[in-house]
Amino acid sequence: MSTACSLGAITSFPLKKLITATDVLYNSVEEPITMDIKWATRSTPPVFTEYGITDEVGAGNSNLTTLRFLNNTYTITSVQLIAASHTSWILPLSAQTQNSEDIVMTFSTTSTSTTYNFLTFVIPILRSAGNPSYLKGLSDPNSQGPFSLQSCFPTNPRAQFAYYATCLAGYSGSASTQNMYVFLSIDGISVAPALITEILENSGMQKFGTYKPPFVSRLTNNATTIRTAGDFTNYVLTTTQLLNYNSFKQLYPTLDTTERKDNTDAYKCVPLDPDASIKNGQLTVDIEKGTVLTKVLEDRDALRASQSSKTSMDPGRIEKYLGSALGIFLAIIVFGCIIYFVVILGAGAVSPTGTVVSGDTTPSWLSQIPTYGFIVLIAGFIGFIIGAMLS
């Protein structure tokens, strides 16, 4: 158990960046991840409970926004408006001058199996145009709901986010370190300048302060600074799938489970042409083409059935063969008995009193007929049945 963050780890918020943000830079470290967010709604407008922190989380409030990430459930623990923290990360560069405030939301989990105990979302506010319902509620206590934090996120499900991990020192000498993932919206959201002014006036504040984490302060003043592209690739990743959970899940069902159970109609079989589909080490598949796997399996079953041989007889066929065999068996017995007694009677003599007197004229082979006949009959009957079954 380590109570101190490792050397070289990010231990501050925000992560400072001195190099210029570009699309090329962000795309070079893309690592798609997503999460399933369940947005809570409220009918009453939000208010500030203390400097820049809203009443979204508090005693008795059970209607809270949650999310699933890396097989763990997180619950929102803090919503704050703060002074701009990641301005140099915003694209396009011309929009950076419009950023004076951010809205920051922090989620936490009680799971002990995760590497990331806290998730913090930073949404830069661009003073341009727009009236997100949640911020509208903060500006006017008489505004009508519903109000949801979803309105403070980009509306584009493919909006790009940069993310990095910051280490939180142990809160005591015997407590281990924890980690917080920071997700930064590169696009931000547009908010009318007048709306920000109304929020400040309604709250009695002149400006917003810095981020106040919802945990014991464990961030250090030893801020890590990104000075080169090499530093950037060591610490930062990006994704355009963070808010695209439903569409992304169609490609990767049950994303956060170790065992996948998918319906066959959830897949398509697409011919793979390595020369056309693989470029620069990446596989491109057109999911609109191809044949649904269910249909492929149906065709395969039909082909297998047409080529398979019939290995068993139906009951009617068995009854027919057994009836024939039994008839032949009985006929042989009857004819055998007739022949046997005719020979026996023909070999005897009739006395003047009318009684049959046995003589020695009966052939010796005749006495063996019952034994040999029985063996032949049984063997023939068995052979007949085997031949009928094989046919």
Q: What does 280-336 look like in DSSP terms, one character per residue? A: TTEE---TTSSEEHHHHHHHHHHHHHHHS---S--HHHHHHHHHHHHHHHHHHHHHH
In this structure, are 160 and 292 located in the same domain? no
Sign of CA dihedral 315, 316, 317, 323: positive
Q: How far apart are CA 365 and CA 186, in angstroms?
A: 110
Number of domains making up the chain: 3
Distance (Å, whole) CA 364 – CA 347: 12
Can you tell me whether residue 223 is helix, strand or coil? Answer: coil
Helix (H, G, I), strand (E, B) or coil at 120: strand
**Is it the case that residue 310 has pLDDT exceeding 70?**
no
Residue-range definition of the domain harbouring residue 354: 315-390
Q: Do 282 and 358 fall within a single domain?
A: no
Mean pLDDT of 211-222: 77
Q: What percent of the chain has pLDDT over 90?
A: 45
Please report the pLDDT score of residue 260 as a whole number.
Answer: 42
350 within domain boundaries: yes
Choose among 64, 62, 99: nearest CA to 78.
64
**Which of 100, 121, 87, 102 has the alpha carbon at shortest distance from 18?**
87
Instruction: Give this prediction's pTM.
Output: 0.65
Q: What is the pLDDT of residues 42-98, one digit of tens each?
A: 999 999 998 899 999 987 788 899 999 988 999 999 999 999 999 999 999 999 999
pLDDT for position 56: 94
**Range from 172-186, 346-360, 370-384 carrying the lowest mean pLDDT:** 346-360
pLDDT score, position 292 = 65
Same domain, 184 and 303: no
pLDDT digits (tens, 9 = 90+) for 132-148: 999 999 999 898 889 99
DSSP string, 56-82: TS-TT-----EEEETTEEEEEEEEEEE
Inter-residue contact 55 to 47 (CB < 8 Å): yes
Residue entry with tokens 């398509």: 268
The gap between the terminal CA atoms of the chain, to the nearest Å, is 75
Same domain membership, residue 211 and residue 93? yes
Helix (H) or strand (E) holding 234: helix 229-235
Residues 109, 222, single domain; the answer is yes
Q: Within this chain, do residues 130 and 255 fall inside the same structural domain, yes or no?
A: yes
